[in-house]
């Protein structure tokens, strides 16, 4: 039961039977126009009036068949102590006249169909209600057992006025049922004419005496009218009770007592001096009974709504049916007039039922929203799968992952009190691993994109270092760029873009390493040359030109060589050139050692700028440019 929902109070027994029959007809015949069922127990006869809301006659056979079948099975199962499909153990206790029904005494039942705004029923059906299966009248007649074919005592009436007494208190004498027909279908026993005449005479005498006796024994004929006083007192008592906060149990009890009072007033004959007053009070009583019936009918609808919504969750259809019942109950209470004794109670219950209806509306809204969340989650999953399959960039991966998160968030909003909760939990079990996989893919994609961008940035720095001749830095940047590019995982969107870069970066790295190696060798050579070329006067100058180191003899050192050669020539009988070479050879050997160590070719120029020779580490000694070119041209 929803928190705060009011528990309904059961109405009277006959009224419950009326509501049970009315509900049964609504379920069994869903296309039947709205009807109201009223039950009464008169002189040992159970009378059931089906009051329809349309003026046109309905097909009575199907309605009567359902009513009779329901009553027979209910009576059979009740007296046998077995719950019928339509009567629970609680329901059977509400109809004690079924429980007290002796197996040997059938209960006469009459069913009536009456159209809207019509004073009299247009269809009547009668049968006997027994805990045993109904006997075939023809077989009973042939067996000669009069107990099985004769109508029960009090069921056959002697006059049309008496027939009116069998109708419920909601009608007057003008609305009474037609006079009864014989109940038994047995064969008629033939009589002789004399015997028939005697029987007829005796019958007329009996009827005359009985009619006079009947007229005098009618209520309110002789003396006062206790029925009238009783009805008026009931009205006063009911007004006081309802004004002092009567409960629905009080209303149910008053409904039963006023119904009985109405029935007793209906028995006041026209020749009574109290007839006019009795008719007026009866009309007032019937009006009050009708209002109380609305309150009890509203309570019955409320009870059904409460029972229907026990132990949630329920489907949306169940909540909608409960909402319809609450609205039906509220509508019935709204028709209670302000001058009715039950008006205050009806308004109180209307407020309670309105709160319950609002709670049901909120539950329906929650159920609809929960199902909408589940449906939207399914749609989000379809979209996420499509986006994930077509993703060609990090932004597309992000969008697909966001759609997965949206689907999971929608399912997590479904409360455990909703009918869609079980479905939401099943989908969460399926979709949450997919979300984790999407998270892993997204993280891998983000790492790949970051590595790709880092590789491009490092390659730019390496190229800039090369332009500045910073080969050591260039080698470091190319190595870092190559490592970043190798971190891009297979299957990511940038992996195809990185593959051409790997080959380019390897080539650039190798070139830079060679350049660095040459630069390091040149630097070492320059240091060695500085040791050999320094002094006073300076022996030589040097400079790197591409891959070749150029060494030039200074003019001052050339003069020193010339002077030394002259002194040598004057003291020794030698060639001037040989004397010069004798002083020049130590320097040439030192330059050759530098070239051999650094593996750099060294061009040696005279002081006048002419090429003396070229030392190539791959050759033995100094050679001329022509010889070097010839060697380089060889395959």
Amino acid 222: pLDDT:
63
The DSSP code sequence of 547-570 is TEEEEEE-HHHHHHHHHHHHHHHH
Tell me the pTM.
Answer: 0.46
Which residue(s) pair with 613 in the sheet?
Answer: 604
- CA proximity to 37, closest of 48, 46, 29: 48
How far lies 223's CA from each of 269, 270, 495, in Å?
14, 15, 115
Q: Which of 64-73, 101-110, 448-457, 491-500 has the weakest average pLDDT?
A: 101-110
Residue range 224-233: mean pLDDT, rounded:
81
Domain ranges, ordered by start, for the chain: 1-187, 228-384, 385-444, 448-517, 534-633
Amino acid 1: pLDDT:
41
- Residues 121-175 pLDDT 10s: 889 998 888 755 444 433 333 333 333 323 333 222 323 333 333 333 333 333 3
DSSP state, residue 616: -
> At the topology level of CATH, where does 448-517 sit?
Methane Monooxygenase Hydroxylase; Chain G, domain 1 (1.20.58)
Q: Tell me what percent of the chain is helix, strand and coil, each rounded to the nearest 5.
A: 60, 10, 30
- Residues 345-377 pLDDT 10s: 888 899 999 999 999 999 999 989 999 999 999
Long-range contacts of 94-102, Cβ-Cβ distance < 8 Å, separation of 24 or more: 94/10, 94/13, 94/16, 94/17, 95/13, 95/16, 95/17, 96/13, 97/13, 97/41, 97/46, 98/74, 101/75, 101/129, 101/130, 101/131
How far lies 532's CA from each of 311, 447, 496, 620, in Å?
106, 55, 55, 21
- Residues 286-337 pLDDT 10s: 888 888 888 888 888 899 999 988 888 888 889 999 999 999 999 999 988 8
């Amino acid at each position: 039961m929803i928190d705060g929902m009011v528990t309904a109070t059961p109405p009277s027994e006959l009224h419950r039977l009326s509501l049970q029959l009315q509900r049964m007809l609504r379920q069994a015949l869903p296309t039947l126009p709205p009807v109201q069922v009223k039950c009464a127990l008169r002189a040992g006869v159970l009378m059931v009036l089906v009051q329809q809301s349309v003026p046109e006659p309905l097909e009575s056979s199907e309605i009567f068949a359902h009513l009779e079948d329901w009553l027979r099975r209910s009576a059979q199962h009740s007296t046998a102590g077995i719950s019928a499909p339509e009567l629970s153990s609680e329901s059977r206790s509400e109809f004690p006249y079924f429980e007290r029904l002796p197996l040997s005494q059938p209960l006469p039942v009459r069913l009536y169909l009456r159209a809207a705004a019509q004073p009299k029923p247009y269809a009547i059906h009668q049968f006997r209600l027994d805990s045993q299966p109904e006997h075939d009248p023809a077989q009973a007649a042939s067996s000669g057992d009069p107990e099985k074919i004769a109508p029960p005592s009090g069921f056959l009436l002697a006059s049309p006025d008496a027939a009116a007494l069998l109708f419920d208190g909601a009608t007057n004498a003008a609305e009474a049922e037609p006079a009864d027909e014989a109940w038994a279908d047995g064969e008629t026993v033939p009589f002789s004419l004399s015997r028939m005449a005697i029987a007829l005479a005796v019958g007329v005498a009996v009827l005359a005496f009985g009619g006079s006796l009947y007229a005098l024994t009618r209520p309110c004929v002789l003396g006062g009218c206790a029925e009238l006083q009783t009805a008026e007192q009931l009205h006063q008592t009911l007004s006081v009770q309802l004004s002092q906060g009567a409960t629905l149990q009080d209303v149910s009890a008053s409904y039963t007592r006023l119904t009985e009072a109405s029935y007793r007033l209906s028995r006041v004959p026209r020749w009574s001096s109290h007839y006019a007053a009795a008719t007026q009070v009866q009309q007032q009583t019937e009006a009050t009974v009708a209002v109380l019936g609305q309150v009890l009918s509203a309570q019955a609808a409320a009870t059904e709504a409460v029972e229907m919504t026990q132990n949630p969750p329920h489907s949306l259809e169940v909540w909608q049916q409960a909402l319809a019942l609450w609205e039906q109950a509220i509508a019935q209470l709204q028709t209670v007039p302000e001058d009715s004794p039950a008006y205050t109670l009806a308004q109180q219950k209307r407020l309670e039922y309105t709160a319950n209806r609002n709670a049901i509306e909120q539950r329906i809204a929650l159920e609809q929203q929960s199902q909408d969340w589940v449906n939207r989650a399914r749609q989000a999953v379809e979209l996420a799968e499509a986006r994930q399959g077509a993703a060609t960039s990090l932004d597309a991966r992000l969008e697909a992952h966001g759609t997965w998160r949206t689907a999971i968030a929608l399912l997590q909003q479904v409360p455990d009190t909703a009918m869609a909760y079980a479905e939401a939990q099943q989908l969460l079990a399926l979709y949450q691993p997919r979300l984790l996989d999407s998270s892993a893919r997204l993280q891998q994609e983000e790492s790949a994109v970051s590595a790709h961008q880092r590789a491009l940035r490092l390659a730019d720095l390496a190229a800039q270092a090369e332009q500045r001749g910073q080969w050591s830095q260039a080698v470091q940047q190319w190595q870092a760029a190559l490592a970043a590019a190798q971190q891009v995982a297979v299957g990511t969107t940038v992996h195809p873009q990185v593959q051409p870069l790997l080959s380019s970066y390897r080539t650039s790295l190798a070139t830079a390493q060679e350049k660095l190696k040459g630069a390091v060798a040149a630097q070492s050579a320059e240091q060695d040359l500085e040791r050999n070329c320094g002094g006073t006067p300076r022996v030589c100058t040097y400079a790197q030109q591409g891959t070749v180191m150029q060494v030039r003899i200074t003019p001052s050192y050339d003069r020193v060589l010339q002077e030394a050669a002259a002194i040598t020539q004057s003291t020794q009988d030698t060639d001037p050139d040989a004397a010069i070479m004798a002083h020049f050879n130590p320097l040439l050997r030192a330059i050759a050692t530098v070239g051999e160590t650094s593996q750099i070719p060294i061009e040696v120029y005279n002081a006048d700028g002419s090429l003396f020779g070229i030392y190539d580490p791959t050759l033995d000694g100094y050679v001329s440019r022509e010889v070097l070119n010839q060697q380089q041209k060889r395959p």
